[in-house]
């Protein structure tokens, strides 16, 4: 493979005109491999060498790994640096993916997460030499409880979806202790897909409930659904159309009167921090996505962290271990909690993510409200400048995000995905397409507080220009993007005959 | 505030453009009684320097500078500075899940390389692009086996990581999944005699770990044969992925659930790490988690996309194979870069050094009166020793020598009090091993 002429083969991809990020094509690392090269050397062995076949036994020893790469350090640097230039990122510009909250990831958080004495610590080391780590966890817990107005927390869940499951298992354990776990969990049709998926793993049935014409929960309708077999309502507030559930108090009352609980998906806490507290408006259990509201980097899909906050009644059911501060002032991991739902992840959760979230919170302090305000101003500013141009299916006060639809552009044969792909040519990452499900052809825009007025203006100009193009040259949108290393990729072919690994 | 890019006058300008009198207008949809009147009681705001000082102070309260003999699912290995330099590029660090493939080819290509590396390492046909960690990967692997076989009982070796088994129990409890524990023998391996044909006949899977929690390698080909004959699947957990540099891969297993932390990820007090599920091609549609697949654009240029998404929650909702959404993509990238640097020879050499150092340490410690090996099965970089005294007492004394001692097995195995799981990787020098042996000898010789 390496003997082929690279000019003709690998540079072909870039000749289709100007592109923003691409310098040249790059083969897979396996295609650069040649026997005898390596990119990392170890200090010499300072104890007697052993022969694996005789120590482990012939049946357990392995020969070399077929196809494994053999490349030098500089080749690794260039390979991954080149790949990185094919990505868009929040460090490059606005990333208005609604519901995903792509905000600035402070660099100091990366620095402190790598400190010797934090990154180096083993989760099983004795508490007496882990006081620093445990205090980080305890301090973060205190901050998150203050922000949410809840009573107790677990930091263990590895992501929002695992937080959902953890919260549901606690609801189940609580209801079981009262004699009946019940059968159903109610989920509005505007919810994230993780909600129903988590409900099933918690052993409950999903009961979908329709939103009303305002995209909100219809309380009369809700009353009919809330019977004695309902364990909880899973509510995203503000909802996925970026609107606060105005009748939240009544909703809480309806649930609580029948002995059911309210779970809040805190994915949109970015709109509430410092302004209102879920603990005050009737929520019994909720999770936060620290990789959203609390700025920890998404890294192309993760890691995240999904702490769960609960009211007093659910505290006995928190997963083990629980971080506590003893009377002596020492911190400890408490495992002996007989009513606990058990463990949801090995060790103490995604500590490195939790630590970054604490660094973010400390940077703002009470000023976190300003971040919320700026996020809301940005969303409303964009809404104001686009609402005459794109269809606004729910004309309700927006908080941190605004959801348009492609209804007007559809007349020209252009859909939300075409507009999204064309945005790429204007140098922006697209908004979220086709979600929430209650909006056909949804265009869900969340600028976050990290965007300047100038960046918002550029985005507005781009969206207006695309709307104009949709009327005159719809084909330009339907074949977009035109500026990237590859054009629209054939996803159908990828799924029909999956190629999931490189082979020699 | 330094993270916020707006001047006071720009804020006013934007409000005017919107037609709002003040920012309060936007919050009128929140019932007034729920709106906060006071600033939140939070510490801060802190400048960058103060944030660094806070965390440096915390680091000083930990075991910084100690030599550690802990493994038990988390391993300290050498890492090149190159890996960290590359993953800190904002284009990787601050990008989202690659939903828009055309502007995420960097992440998607790296994921495809990760899937390839994980398949090669485990001897499996396909691997996904990450689960949260090894413990949740194992749980998801078991649920996958349940779906594939339609059976609702699993036979789990007692020598599987205790915390992994606890996570599995938490998930299994409400799903009608029965877990039966299989004991271990004096070799430290799963007791194949306890895997009766009656049990196997109704089991979705036999679940083992190799090297197991006692550091001992399991005989996978035999286990696979027995399990398959009864119509079940063999699920194998791997917590120490470096072992695969010299240990035969679990190719006979049907599903491999691996913790990738050992492949270049810092211990970081328990996470974030990177879980992996690897399996046979024919099972891929029951596999949870993200997958990147190769395809082409209209001009025939090779590119990569997220694929087989109809398994996932954002499409299938309550019928999805899992609720996982956010995963550990950045640490999949860490493992990918780390393995590319190490390469074929480097990984083998690292594994050989672990084997040699662990042998040396075991021999040194066994010279101490009353200290002896517990299990007879073959081991990689962890081994189980019996001490004449409480492991916790020994460990507590070792801290004074700035040594974090071995894992006390009695914590999870009442029958194994006074037994310690010692881990020695290539990061520990001969001098440190000898210093530890001297300290243990001194502690055991001192009067109680």
Concatenated DSSP letters for A116-162?
TTTTT--TTS-GGGBHHHHHHHHHHHHHHHHHHT-SEEE---SSHHH
pLDDT band at residue A310, thresholds of 50, 70 and 90? very high
pTM: 0.96
Residue A385: pLDDT over 60: yes
What is the three-class DSSP state of B148?
helix
Tokens representing residue B303 in the block: 């590119």
Residue from B3, B99, B286, B393 whose CB has the most chain A CBs within 10 Å, to mutate? B3
Residue from A16, A68, A293, A359 whose CB has the most chain B CBs within 10 Å, to mutate? A68
Q: How far is A31 from chain B (nearest CA, A)?
A: 11
By DSSP bridging, strand B153-157 and strand B205-209 are parallel
By DSSP bridging, strand A322-325 and strand A331-334 are antiparallel
CATH architecture of residue range(s) B81-338: 3-Layer(aba) Sandwich (3.40)
- With CB atoms and an 8 Å threshold, state whether B112 touches A502: yes
Residue A10: pLDDT over 50: no
- Please tell me which residue of chain B has the smallest CA distance to A101: B96
Angle, to 10 degrees, between the axis of helix A368-386 and the axis of helix B8-18? Answer: 40
Q: What CA–CA distance (Å, rounded) separates B302 from B313? A: 28
Q: What CA–CA distance (Å, rounded) separates B301 from B99? A: 19
CA dist list (Å): B98 to A268, A434, B315: 21, 16, 16
pLDDT band at residue A23, thresholds of 50, 70 and 90? low
Q: What angle do CA B170, B174, B178 make, to 5 degrees?
A: 80
Cβ pair A166, A322 in contact under 8 A: no
- With CB atoms and an 8 Å threshold, state whether B310 touches A495: yes
Give me chain A's average pLDDT, please: 94
Q: What does the pLDDT read at residue B316? A: 87
Q: What CA–CA distance (Å, rounded) separates A475 from A469? A: 9
CA dist list (Å): A411 to A357, A403, A415, B147: 45, 19, 9, 44
Segment B330-379, tens digit of pLDDT: 999 999 999 999 999 999 999 999 999 999 999 999 999 999 999 999 99
Provide the CA A439 distance to its chain's centre, in angstroms.
21
pLDDT band at residue A14, thresholds of 50, 70 and 90? very low
CA-wise closest residue to A283 among A239, A315, A236, A240: A236
CA-wise closest residue to A120 among B224, B331, B60, B320: B60
Domain spanning B67-78+345-445, CATH class: alpha beta
For chains A and B, CB pairs below 8 A equal 708
Q: What CA–CA distance (Å, rounded) separates B326 from A304? A: 6
Residue A163: pLDDT over 80: yes
**B396 burial level (CB within 10 Å; 0-12, 13-18, 19+):** middle
Q: Which of chain B's residues have a Cβ under 8 Å away from the Cβ of A170?
A: none
Tokens representing residue A387 in the block: 């609402």
Tokens representing residue A265 in the block: 């998906």
Q: How far is A185 from chain B (nearest CA, A)?
A: 12
- With CB atoms and an 8 Å threshold, state whether A80 touches B110: yes
Cβ pair A125, A117 in contact under 8 A: no
CA dist list (Å): B70 to A98, A416, B22, B195, B401: 43, 53, 57, 31, 15
What sections of A149-240 are H helices per DSSP?
160-177, 194-201, 219-225
Q: What CA–CA distance (Å, rounded) separates A473 from A408? A: 15
- With CB atoms and an 8 Å threshold, state whether A193 touches B313: yes
Tokens representing residue A200 in the block: 């099933």
Q: How far is A21 from chain B (nearest CA, A)?
A: 9
- With CB atoms and an 8 Å threshold, state whether B28 touches A397: yes
Q: Which of chain B's residues have a Cβ under 8 Å away from the Cβ of A143?
A: 42-43
What interface predicted TM-score (ipTM) does this complex get?
0.98
- With CB atoms and an 8 Å threshold, state whether B113 touches A30: yes
Segment B372-415, tens digit of pLDDT: 999 999 999 999 999 999 999 999 999 999 999 999 999 999 99
Q: What CA–CA distance (Å, rounded) separates A181 from A231? A: 7
- Please tell me which residue of chain B has the smallest CA distance to A425: B103
What is the three-class DSSP state of A234?
strand
- With CB atoms and an 8 Å threshold, state whether B330 touches A302: yes
Residue B263: pLDDT over 80: yes
CB neighbours of A7 closer than 8 A, spacing ≥ 6?
A: none
Query: What are the structural domain ranges in chain B?
Result: 67-78+345-445, 81-338
Q: What CA–CA distance (Å, rounded) separates B187 from B377? A: 5
Which among A116, A350, A498 has the least Cβ separation from residue B284?
A498
Q: What does the pLDDT read at residue A15? A: 43
Q: Which of chain A's residues have a Cβ under 8 Å away from the Cβ of B152?
A: none
CA dist list (Å): A476 to A425, A466, A469: 11, 10, 8
Angle, to 10 degrees, between the axis of helix B329-366 and the axis of helix A73-84? Answer: 150
Tokens representing residue B9 in the block: 């006058």
Q: How far is A174 from chain B (nearest CA, A)?
A: 14
What average pLDDT score do residues A2-25 get?
A: 46
Residue from B102, B304, B347 whose CB has the most chain A CBs within 10 Å, to mutate? B102
What is the three-class DSSP state of A208?
strand
Q: How far is B40 from chain A (nearest CA, A)?
A: 5
Segment A320-365, tens digit of pLDDT: 999 999 999 999 999 999 999 999 999 999 999 999 999 999 999 9
Indicate the DSSP class of residue A290: T
Segment B265-312, tens digit of pLDDT: 999 999 999 999 999 999 999 999 999 999 999 999 999 999 998 888
Residue A17: pLDDT over 90: no
Q: What CA–CA distance (Å, rounded) separates A93 from A311? A: 39
CA-wise closest residue to B156 among B177, B184, B181, B139: B181
Is there a common fold for B67-78+345-445 and B81-338?
Answer: no
Residue whose entry in the numeric block shows the structure tokens 């791997």: B238
- Please tell me which residue of chain B has the smallest CA distance to A488: B297
Beta bridge partners of A264: A235, A286
Q: How far is A313 from chain B (nearest CA, A)?
A: 20
Kindly list the strands in the beta sheet with A402-405, ordered across the sheet, starting from the edge strand earlier in the chain: A402-405, A442-445, A432-433
User: What domains does chain A contain, in order, with CATH numbers?
Assistant: 6-84 (no CATH), 367-491 (3.90.1150.10)
Rg (CA), chain A: 26
Handedness of CA A328, A331, A337, A340 (dihedral sign): positive
- With CB atoms and an 8 Å threshold, state whether A70 touches B343: yes
Q: What CA–CA distance (Å, rounded) separates B123 from B241? A: 12
Q: What CA–CA distance (Å, rounded) separates A359 from B365? A: 42
- With CB atoms and an 8 Å threshold, state whether A131 touches B61: yes
Which among B42, B271, B341 has the least Cβ separation from residue A347?
B271
Q: Which of chain A's residues have a Cβ under 8 Å away from the Cβ of B124?
A: none
Tokens representing residue A384 in the block: 């104001």
Cβ pair A33, B340 in contact under 8 A: no
Q: What does the pLDDT read at residue B448? A: 74
Concatenated DSSP letters for A8-52?
HHHSGGG-SS--SS-S-----GGGG--TT--S---PPP-S----H
What sections of B19-161 are H helices per DSSP?
48-60, 81-87, 90-93, 105-122, 134-149
- With CB atoms and an 8 Å threshold, state whether B247 touches A60: yes
Concatenated DSSP letters for A238-276?
S-TTS---TTHHHHHHHHHHTT-EEEEEETTGGGTTTTB
Q: What CA–CA distance (Å, rounded) separates B448 from B441? A: 13
CA-wise closest residue to B444 among B346, B376, B372: B372
Which among B93, B217, B355 has the least Cβ separation from residue A299?
B93
């Amino acid at each position: 493979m390496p003997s082929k002429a690279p000019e003709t083969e690998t540079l072909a991809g870039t000749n289709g005109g100007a592109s923003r990020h691409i310098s040249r094509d790059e083969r897979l690392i396996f295609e650069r491999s040649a026997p005898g090269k390596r990119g990392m050397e170890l200090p010499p062995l300072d104890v007697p060498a052993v022969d694996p076949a005789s120590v482990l036994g012939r049946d357990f020893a392995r020969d070399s790994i077929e196809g494994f790469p053999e490349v030098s350090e500089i080749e690794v640097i260039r390979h991954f640096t080149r790949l990185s230039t094919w990505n868009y990122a929040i460090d490059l510009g606005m990333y208005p993916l609604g519901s995903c909250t792509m905000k600035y990831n402070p660099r100091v958080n990366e620095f402190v997460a790598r400190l010797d004495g934090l990154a180096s610590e083993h989760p099983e080391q004795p508490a007496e030499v882990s006081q620093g780590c445990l205090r980080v966890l305890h301090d973060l817990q205190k901050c998150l409880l203050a922000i949410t107005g809840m009573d107790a927390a677990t930091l263990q869940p590895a992501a929002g979806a695992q937080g959902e499951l953890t919260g549901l298992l606690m609801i189940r354990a609580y209801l079981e202790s009262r004699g009946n776990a019940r059968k159903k969990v109610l989920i509005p049709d505007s919810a994230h897909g993780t909600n129903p998926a988590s409900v099933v793993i918690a052993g409950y049935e999903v009961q979908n409930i329709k939103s009303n014409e305002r995209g909100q929960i219809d309380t009369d309708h809700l009353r009919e659904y809330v019977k004695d077999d309902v364990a909880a309502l899973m509510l995203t507030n503000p909802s996925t159309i970026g609107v606060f559930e105005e009748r939240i108090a009544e909703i809480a009352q309806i649930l609580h009167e029948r002995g059911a609980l309210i779970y809040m998906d805190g994915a949109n806490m970015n709109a509430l921090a410092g302004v209102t507290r879920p603990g005050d408006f009737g929520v019994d259990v909720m999770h936060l996505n620290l990789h959203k509201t609390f700025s920890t980097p998404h890294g192309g899909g993760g890691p995240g962290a999904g702490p769960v906050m609960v009211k007093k009644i659910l505290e006995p059911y928190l997963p083990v271990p629980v971080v506590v501060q003893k009377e002596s002032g020492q911190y400890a991991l408490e495992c002996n909690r007989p009513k606990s739902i058990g463990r949801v992840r090995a060790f103490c959760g995604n500590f490195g993510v939790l630590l970054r979230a604490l660094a973010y919170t400390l940077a703002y302090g009470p000023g976190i409200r300003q971040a919320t305000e700026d996020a809301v101003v940005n969303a409303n500013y964009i809404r104001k400048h686009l609402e005459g141009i794109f269809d606004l299916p729910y004309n309700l006060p927006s908080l941190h995000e605004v959801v348009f639809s492609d209804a007007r552009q559809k007349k020209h044969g252009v859909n939300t995905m075409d507009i999204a792909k064309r945005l790429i040519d204007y140098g922006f990452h697209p908004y979220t397409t086709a979600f929430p499900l209650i909006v056909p052809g949804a265009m869900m825009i969340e600028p976050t507080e990290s965007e300047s007025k100038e960046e918002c203006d550029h985005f507005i100009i781009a969206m207006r220009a695309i709307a104009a193009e949709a009327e005159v040259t719809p084909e330009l949108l339907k074949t977009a993007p035109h500026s990237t290393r590859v054009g629209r990729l054939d996803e159908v072919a990828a799924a029909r005959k999956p190629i999931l690994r490189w082979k020699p | 505030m330094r993270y916020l890019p707006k001047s006071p006058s720009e804020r006013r300008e934007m409000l005017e453009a919107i037609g709002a009198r003040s920012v309060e207008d936007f919050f009128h949809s929140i019932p007034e009684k729920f709106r906060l009147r006071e600033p939140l009681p939070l510490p801060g705001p802190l400048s960058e320097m103060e944030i660094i000082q806070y965390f440096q102070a915390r680091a000083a309260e930990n075991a910084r500078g100690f030599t550690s003999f802990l493994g038990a699912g988390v391993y300290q290995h050498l890492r090149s500075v190159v890996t960290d330099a590359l993953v800190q590029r904002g284009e990787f660090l601050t990008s989202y899940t690659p939903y828009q493939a055309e502007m995420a080819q960097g992440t998607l290509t790296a994921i495809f390389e990760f899937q390839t590396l994980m398949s090669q390492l485990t001897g499996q046909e396909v691997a996904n692009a990450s689960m949260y960690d090894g413990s949740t990967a194992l749980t998801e692997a078991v649920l996958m086996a349940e779906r594939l076989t339609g059976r609702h009982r699993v036979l789990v070796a007692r020598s599987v990581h205790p915390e992994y088994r606890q996570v599995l129990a938490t998930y299994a409890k409400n799903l009608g999944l029965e877990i039966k524990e299989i004991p271990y023998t004096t070799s430290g391996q799963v007791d194949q005699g306890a895997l009766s044909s009656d049990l196997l006949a109704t089991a979705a899977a036999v679940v083992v770990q190799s090297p197991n929690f006692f550091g001992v390698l399991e005989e996978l080909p035999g286990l696979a044969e027995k399990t398959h004959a009864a119509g079940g699947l063999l699920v194998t957990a791997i917590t120490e992925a470096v072992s695969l540099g010299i240990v035969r891969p679990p190719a006979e297993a049907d599903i491999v659930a691996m913790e990738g932390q050992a492949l270049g990820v810092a211990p970081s007090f328990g996470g974030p790490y990177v879980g992996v599920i690897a399996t046979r091609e024919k099972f891929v549609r029951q596999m949870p988690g993200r997958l990147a697949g190769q395809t082409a654009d209209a001009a025939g240029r090779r590119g990569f996309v997220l694929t087989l998404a109809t398994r996932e929650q954002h499409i299938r909702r309550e019928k999805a194979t899992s609720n996982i959404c956010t995963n550990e993509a950045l640490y999949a990238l860490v493992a990918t870069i780390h393995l590319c640097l190490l390469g074929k020879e480097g990984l083998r050499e690292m594994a050989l050094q672990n084997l040699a150092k662990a042998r040396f340490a075991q021999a040194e410690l066994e010279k101490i009166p009353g200290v002896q090996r517990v299990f007879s099965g073959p081991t990689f970089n962890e081994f189980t020793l019996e001490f004449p005294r409480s492991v916790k007492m020994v460990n507590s004394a070792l801290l004074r020598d700035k040594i974090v001692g071995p894992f006390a097995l009695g914590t999870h195995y009442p029958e194994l009090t006074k037994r310690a799981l010692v881990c020695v990787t290539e990061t520990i020098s001969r001098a440190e091993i000898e210093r530890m042996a001297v300290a243990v000898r001194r502690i055991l010789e001192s009067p109680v």
